[in-house]
Amino acid sequence: MNKLPCAHLLEAKENVNPKTPNGCEECLETGDAWVQLRLCLTCGHVGCCDSSKNKHATKHFHQTKHPVIKSFQPGDTWKWCYIDEAFLE
């Protein structure tokens, strides 16, 4: 995690409101479970992480090209840019 922040990370919204604060938007609709959650810093989509079977956060990126997510887990502060594959803590 020593990479310098990419431009996408620097432009990410800090105060985006989660659309589904109680869990992964798609998993809540289908009744599936998730491991951890990620928040899109462009639109507020809440998706499950890549350790979850459905990987909805990554699928959201591929569908929308919204580049930056952050962990939606209590106490986590990291962000991730899909385009540059860069972390920011």
The dihedral over CA atoms of 80, 83, 84, 87, expressed in degrees to the nearest 10, equals 0
Residue 35 confidence (pLDDT) above 70: yes
Q: Is residue 2 pLDDT above 70, yes or no?
A: no
Q: What is 7-88's CATH number?
A: 3.30.40.10
Specify whether the CB–CB gap between 47 and 63 falls below 8 A: no
Q: How confident is the model at residue 57 (pLDDT cuts 50, 70, 90)?
A: very high
- Residue 5's pLDDT band, with cuts at 50, 70 and 90, is low
Q: What is the pLDDT of residue 4?
A: 57
**The pLDDT of residue 49:** 98
Q: Looking at the predicted structure, is the pLDDT value of residue 25 above 70?
A: yes
Q: How confident is the model at residue 9 (pLDDT cuts 50, 70, 90)?
A: confident
